[in-house]
Amino acid sequence: MYFFNRFKIDLILYSADKQQTPFIKFNYARYKYIKKDFQLNFKNVRFITLPRFFNSGINFFIALLAIFNIKKSKFDLIISRNLYASFLFSCILKKRIIYEIHLLEFGFRKYIQYQALKSKYTKTITISSKLKYHLQIHHNLKLENNLIL
């Protein structure tokens, strides 16, 4: 609770259905759902809901929106579960980030994940010690700045 009260947070979500909501809009229904499920006080959280115009590429679109938001705002910390945002912030923009990882990527996404992981601007959070172990083998690197949940 204390953490959420200290910082202003932008939480970028996409609409689960194809409902065409306004581009940036406070979504009260989503807010109530998250507040109830996680029992958190979101006094300083701004919810940004994206319409789902298409089925693929939504994570890349969210990353671009995040970059736009951060460019126009002052920020203290970037925490991202989005692979593309983590890559763009750490490798292209050279911003310090915390990248929360839930799975191994393959193909082109594996290359992007590898680049983000080896960046000196990236600290990682993995959801288990097993995932950290498999990430290190998968990418043939040692995760130095890693926290295991």
CA–CA dist 36, 43 (Å, integer) = 14
- Condensed to tens digits (0 to 9), the pLDDT of residues 43-90 reads 667 666 666 666 667 778 778 777 777 766 666 778 888 899 999 989
Q: In the prediction, which pLDDT does 145 show?
A: 83
Is the per-residue pLDDT at 111 higher than 70? yes
User: Is the whole-model pTM more than 0.85?
Assistant: no
Q: In the prediction, which pLDDT does 91 show?
A: 93
pLDDT class for 24, splitting at 50, 70, 90?
Answer: very low
DSSP string, 89-117: IIIIS---EEEEE-S---THHHHHHHHHH
